[in-house]
Amino acid sequence: MKGFGDKKIKNKPTPRELVKDKLIKQASKYFEEGNLHYSIQCYEDCLSKGFQDPALLSQYGIVLFQSGYTKKAIDIFEKSIKIYPQEPDLYINLSNIYKLKGNLNYAENLIKKSLNLNPNSHIALNNLTGILITKKQFIEAKKYALLSINYDQNNSNNYYNLGVIYSNLDHFQESIQSFKKAIKYCQSNYGANLNLGAMLLKISQFEEARKYIEVSLTLKPNSYEAYFNLGQIALYTEKFELAESYFIKSLSFCQNNTEIYKFLGIAQFMNSKDHALDSINKSIALNSTKNISNVLKKIIQVENKSTKSKIQTFKTPYEKFGNKPVLLYKSVDKELLKILYKQNTSDLNTVDNSNFSGNAIGSNYRLFDDYDPILELLKNDLIKLTSNYLNSDIFIEDSFFRILEGEGVVKKHIHLDTIDRLPKLNLYKYKFSLVYYLKTGDNDCSEPGYLTFHNPNDRILPKPGMIILFPSDRPHSVLYNGKSDRMILSINFYSY
C-alpha cells in the first residue's frame, strides 16, 4: 500500500532463517496471485514457528488490511508496537489504516510518534503532510511538505503535496511550479497533471491548461475530473456545444455530481437547450443547501418567459439596487475579534489574487466553511440582514477577513469571477459584495482608510460596526497610513 513502511526483510543464511524466508516468499506469491487465504496462512505459520520481528509483523498487518481484515490488522499493529515500541514503520502502517478509516487525529498522533523515532523519514513526513492536507491545516502541512522535499528532493509526490497546499493557500504561481516539478520527476503522475491543468484553468490560461488535462486523460481515461475541467475550458472559451459534450462525458463516469450537472445546465443554457433547467434542478436535488444553482435556476426561468413579459415584470437585483452603496450596521462582538486573530493567515503580498499590499494579512476565501459557533452566528446574521434588505434569498460564495497591520493599500478591483462574465448568463447582475468593519484603525491620519468607489466616484469613511453593501462589479480601493490595526470581514454573495 502506498506510503506504508519498508516491507523488506534482511535474511541471514541460517536454516531457521531459510525456512522463514521461504514462508514469506510463499506468502507474497499467494498475495500477488490473489490467494489471500493462503497468504495469511503462511504468515500465521511463521508466527506459530516462533518467527517474530518488526518487518514480519508489518508485512502480516499490511496483508491483513489489504485483504479486508481491518480490525485484525489493527490488533496486529497495536500488539507489535507494544513489543517493539522503537520501530517507526509500525506507527506509519497503523497511522495509514486509521487515516483510511477517517480517524485523522489518531492517524496524525501515530505518524508523529514515528517521526519522533526517525525525524528524517520522508515516508512519515509525506504521510503527515497528506493527513494535514485532508484536515485542511495547510499552513502546518506546508512545513512538513518542505521538510519532506529536503530529505527526498526527487520525489514527485512530495512536490505534488506542496502544489496542493499552495493551491489552497491561493499561491497560484508557487502551486503551478510545484506541480511542474512533480511532473519533472514523474511524467506519469496523474494527479500532478490534472491539478496543474486545474490551476492554469483557474488563472484563465486555457490553452496551457488543456495540454496538461489531456495528458491526465491518457494516464486515466475514465477521469471524470479531467472531462469536467475540459468542459469548463470549452465553456469559458465560448465553445458551448463542445462544453456540453465534455460535461455529459464526465457524468458518464460520475453520475451524481452536483457540480457537473450545474455546469452542464450552464452549457445547455448557452446553447439555448430546453433541458438546461432539468440539469440545474438535478444539481439542486443533489445538494439541498443553498448554492449557485439556485441562482442559475432563477436566471433560466426568467429567460424562458417571453421577452415582453420579462421587460414588464422582472428586474434583476442589480437593476433594483442602483449605483449608491448601502450602509447597514451590526455591533462588533469582541469574541469574534479574538477568533479571527487566532485564525491561520497568509501575508497577502504573497497571495497571487490579492489586491492588498503593505502590512496586510488575511484568510483564504472559505472562512465560513469550517464550523465555529461564533462565525456560524455571524454568517446567519449577515444572511438575514442582506436577505431582508434585498428582499430575496442569498447564497454566500466567498467569505474572508483582512487585517491591515498599519500602513497598507487595497488596489482598485472588483469581485467577479470568469463565470460571472459569461455573456447571456450575466451572473454579475445577481452578485454583490459586503464589507463589515470590525476595526477601522486611526481616523486622525492623512489617509484614514476611505472606501473609495470608482465609476461613478464616491467614498465612505467607515466606523466600527458599519456594513457596506454594493454590486460586485463596482471598482473600489482603499488607502490607509495609520498605525493601528484595521480589520474587515467580507463576503461575496448572489441574490436571487
Q: DSSP labels for 316-357? A: -HHHHH-SS-EEEE-PPPHHHHHHHHHS--EEGGG-TT--EE
C-alpha cell at 199: 490551476
Decide which of 330 and 314 is more confident.
330
Q: What is the pLDDT of residue 26?
A: 82
Which range, of 146-150, 292-296, 351-355, 490-494, averages the lowest pLDDT?
351-355
Which of 84, 40, 36, 35 is CA-nearest to residue 61? 40
Burial of 307 from C-beta contacts in 10 A (0-12 / 13-18 / 19+): exposed
pLDDT (tens digit per residue) in 266-282: 999 999 888 999 999 99
Please tell me the predicted confidence (pLDDT) of residue 43.
Answer: 81
Q: Which contiguous run of DSSP H or E holds residue 469?
A: strand 466-471
Q: How confident is residue 312, by pLDDT bands cut at 50, 70 and 90?
A: low
Integer Cα distance of 203 and 51 in angstroms: 58
* DSSP string computed for 181-239: HHHHH-TT-HHHHHHHHHHHHHTT-HHHHHHHHHHHHHH-TT-HHHHHHHHHHHHHTT-
Segment 470-478 shows an average pLDDT of 97
Higher-confidence residue: 308 or 111?
111
Q: Report CA Rg, the chain.
A: 28
Average pLDDT over residues 402-417: 93
What single-letter DSSP state applies at residue 437?
E
Phi, then psi, of 173 in degrees rounded to 5: -65, -40
What's the rounded Cα separation, in Å, for the pair 182 and 189? 7
Phi, psi of 49 (to 5 degrees): -90, 5
Intra-chain end-to-end CA distance of the chain, in Å: 48
- 256 CB-side CA count, 13 A: 3
Does the structure show a pLDDT above 90 at 3?
A: no
- Confidence check: pLDDT of 307 > 60: no
Mean pLDDT of 6-29: 69
- Residue 311 pLDDT greater than 90, yes or no: no
Would you state the cell numbers that stand for residue 257, as one nine-digit string? 455530481
- Give the span between the Cα atoms of 430 and 486, in whole angstroms: 29
Say if residue 54's pLDDT is above 80. yes
DSSP 377-398: HHHHHHHHHHHHHHTS-EEEEE
Rounded CA separation 405/388 (Å): 34
How many angstroms from the chain centroid is the CA of residue 431? 22
**Which pLDDT value is given to residue 57?**
87
Beta bridge partners of 395: 494
As a dihedral over the C-alpha atoms of residue 107, residue 110, residue 116, residue 120, rounded to 10 degrees, the angle is -50
- pLDDT given at position 4: 59
More confidently predicted of 255 and 41: 255
Q: 65, exposed or middle or buried, with CB in 10 Å at 0-12, 13-18, 19+? A: buried
Res 10: pLDDT:
55
Task: Give the CA count within 13 Å in the CB-facing half-sphere of 433.
Answer: 23
Cα–Cα distance for residue pair 386/493, rounded to 1 Å = 10
Distances (CA, A) of 450 to 204, 477, 489: 32, 8, 16
As a whole number, mean pLDDT of residues 103-129 equals: 96
308, pLDDT greater than 50: no
Q: pLDDT for 368-384, tens place per residue?
A: 998 899 999 999 999 99
SS3 438: strand
Identify the CA nearest to 281 among candidates 269, 271, 270, 272. 269
Return the H-helix or E-strand segment holding 295.
helix 292-304
Name the pLDDT band for 6 (thresholds 50, 70, 90).
low
Does 82 have pLDDT greater than 90? yes
pTM (two decimals): 0.86
Q: Write out the DSSP string of 159-181.
A: HHHHHHHHHHTT-HHHHHHHHHH
